[in-house]
Amino acid sequence: MRVTHIKLDAFMVKIARTHKVEAGCDDCAKLSARLIDALMAGPVEERELLDILHHLLMCVPCAQEFQMLDDCARMDAEDSWPSLDEMWRKIEQGK
């Protein structure tokens, strides 16, 4: 793979965002529900949860899973789940 200036810049940004001790995917899976509850309550200040937020910036698979969990939690809190027919329509549109 050829390294371009843009890829190198993106890599440098990722390195600059790293911490000495980082949360990993396992930590993210364990603490996602607690993070969602904390975000729904207000600003997050707990270091452990801030580390998970940082991990979500760096890890696309975890960020996608977290977004889905967050969407579900918000629909649950607002009692705004789509009907089964609406969900099937969205699934069919995505194909």
Q: Taking a C-beta distance cutoff of 8 angstroms, is the pair 62, 55 a contact?
A: yes
Tokens representing 85 are 């027919």
What size, in residues, is the chain?
95
pLDDT in tens, 52-84: 988 998 899 999 999 999 999 999 999 988 888
How many Cα neighbours within 13 Å face the side chain of 64? 3
Q: Per-residue pLDDT tens for 13-31? A: 666 666 666 788 999 999 9
Angle between helical axes of 47-58 and 60-78 (0-180°, round to 10) = 120
pLDDT band (50, 70, 90) for residue 44:
confident
As a dihedral over the C-alpha atoms of residue 90, residue 25, residue 35, residue 40, rounded to 10 degrees, the angle is: -20
Average pLDDT over residues 26-41: 92
Q: How far is CA 32 from CA 15, 19, 20, 53, 57, in A?
A: 24, 19, 21, 9, 14
Q: What does the pLDDT read at residue 34?
A: 94
